[in-house]
Structure formats: C-alpha cells, structure tokens
Amino acid sequence: MSNGLRERKKRQTRAALIRAALELCETKGVEAVTVADIADAADVSRRTFFNYFATREEAILGSGADRSERLVACLNERPAGEPAWEALRAAFATFLSETDEPQREWMARARLVRANPSLLDQQRADFAEMEQRLVAGIVGRTGEDLGALEPRLLVGAAVTTVRVAVNHWIDTPSDIALADAIDHALARMAAGCGALATPIRNP
C-alpha cells in the first residue's frame, strides 16, 4: 500500500470514528456511549479506536489536535508582512472554507458540550492546544519572544472571539454561514480594539 493510500485510509477511519461518536451521542446521550459503541458503529476494533483517540471525549469533540495543526498551517501560509490579527482572521477563514466538517456537526458538538459537563475538560484542552500552537505561529511571524505577553493576548482574544461567535451563531439561528459569522465577529473585535489591527513589533 502506498503512503498516499495509507494516509487517506487513516483519514477516512478517523472521520468515521468522529462521525459515529457524534451520531451516537445525539441519539443515545453522551453518558450512554462507550468506546466499544463508537468502534462498533465505525466497524473497527477497540484497539483501532485507541490508535486514533486516547478517550471517547476526544472522538466526540472531533480531533482538536488535527484541527489546530491545520489552522496553524493556514496561518503560516499568510503573507509575511500582514498584521498579526488579519493573518489570524484570514487563517480561520481559510480553515473553515477547507474543513470537511459540516455546519450541522459544529452545532451538534457545541450543544453536546453545553449539555454535558463531562466534555468540558476535553474542550478546554483542545482550546489550550490551539492557543499554544497559534502563539508559536504568531511568534514565528513577528520575531517576538515565545514568552512575551502580546502574542498570547492576541491569540487569546482571537480564540475567545471565535468561541463566542460560534455560541452566538447557535443561539440566534439565521441564514448566515458559520464561517461568515466568525469572520464578522473577528472584524468587529478588531474595530473595537484598534491595536489588534497593527503588527506586533519588537521593542
């Protein structure tokens, strides 16, 4: 089997596990779903499940590590001279345009987290990893020290804005696409905090 085919099969298996976990939780409730249930629904063994996810919560929330990795790749593709906030905004837009996760899955997952405190720790871990990776990406673009406050503030504001935008999008149904709702929120945040629109510069 070629490397390309092997990687494609891995992506398909991961996607099948994520889809099975979400669908089972929607029909049975989070607390009633086990790793065995998810593996069976995806037609793989429990051992195979653990090759992809350490816990059922990881599978339910949909591989935050992969999401973060792709998001940082989108950030790294932005022009070098672009202001940091605009680069983050464009990275989220590109990521959302390329993701194969339907809007329905985003909405279902967010609702599950709201209704099931047992998922909160995994969600926090996913957001923390996203922030760490994005901070490293911003530092790489700006030359700031990894321990500097400004890149952390910038990324923290962006990730929080995205989280709030997703929740608002869920609470106020409309014809607006999720990607547009997030982009609008990031634009509003920049308008309200003018410093976000300027590049971070070394002192």
pLDDT for 196: 55
Residue, of 64 and 46, whose pLDDT is higher: 46
What gap in Å lies between CA 137 and CA 153, rounded to an integer? 14
pLDDT digits (tens, 9 = 90+) for 54-82: 999 999 988 777 888 889 999 999 998 89
CATH of domain 1-61: 1.10.10.60
Each domain of the chain, given as residue ranges in start order, spans 1-61, 63-198
**Which residue bears the tokens 């998922």?**
119
Contact 178, 106 (CB under 8 A): yes
Regarding predicted confidence, which is higher, 99 or 147?
147
pTM of the predicted model, to two decimals? Answer: 0.80
Q: Which fold has domain 63-198?
A: Tetracycline Repressor; domain 2 (1.10.357)
**Residue whose token pair is 């869920």:** 170
Burial 51-63 (b: 16+ CB within 10 A, else e): ebbeebbbbbbbb
Q: Give every CB contact of residue 99 below 8 A, 6+ residues apart in sequence.
A: 67, 70
Residue 197 pLDDT greater than 70, yes or no: no
- What is the identity of the amino acid at 78? R
